[in-house]
Amino acid sequence: MKLPDRINRIVAGKPYTENLTGMSGSRVLMYDEFVLKIEKWRPENAETIDVMRWLEGRIPVPTILAYEVTGGDSYILMSRIQGKMACDDYYLTRPEELVTLLAEALQMLWTVDVAGCPRERTIDKELAEARYRVENSLVDLDNVEPETFGPGGFRDPEELLAWLYENKPSYEPVLSHGDFCLPNIYLDNGKISGFIDLGDAGIGDKWRDIALCYRSLKHNAEGTYGGKVYPDTDPMQLFKKLQIEPDWDKIRFYLLMDELF
């Protein structure tokens, strides 16, 4: 594998493993001290780098060590966050600790002053991107919930998109991770050690993160990933820890919108 010279000078000869968790389509190489993410270049990549640099010192995120674009691919070399993913068996077998830390992670985001944040993902911007994906047949129908399309669900992505436009919720802007799933939250010694996979981070609606966190917690507890069931992990405890009532209309909206991404 040929790497850009600037990055190769840092990682050459160092052992690594490849992280196959997640569905982003990127290659993620894990070194002892670094993480190298390789993906097809998109215009949004540079904006993501700006957001990550803006986040440094505000919340625990990887430090950007080098960013290069060559041959149609982008290469992001970052510091490695220490700890375990929130979906690690250690935490799933300790549901009280896990849900407490997930709630703290959400609240950590919400307390950040978003003035000056270089990206905002309003509902209208999200829907415009969803429309582009639908119109260009980019929706991955193999990676959707079984009840979303077909009997009892939507006929096709076009019908779902129309429903989303007709059912836009109110907008509650906060600092949003954008993909608040358990593999993207790292925990260590009872603390939040970092947030990773920040390609959609920026100002956004708080209920998007809540919805994705709830779904991720539910799927991990039910054994959707890996097959192991954790019967003591109750996703409803997330709302208790956040001291809020679940807004099921907003949760449904964001989970359905995520089906188009």
Please identify every residue annotated as catalytic: 179
Packing angle of the helix pair 123-135, 157-166 (nearest 10 deg): 160
**What is residue 79's three-state secondary structure?**
strand
CB atoms within 10 A of CB 106: 22
- Give the sheet arrangement for strand 34-40, strand by strand: 17-18, 27-30, 34-40, 73-79, 64-70
Rounded to whole angstroms, the Cα distance separating 108 from 111 reads: 5
**154-164 b/e with 16+ CB inside 10 Å = b?**
beebeebbeeb
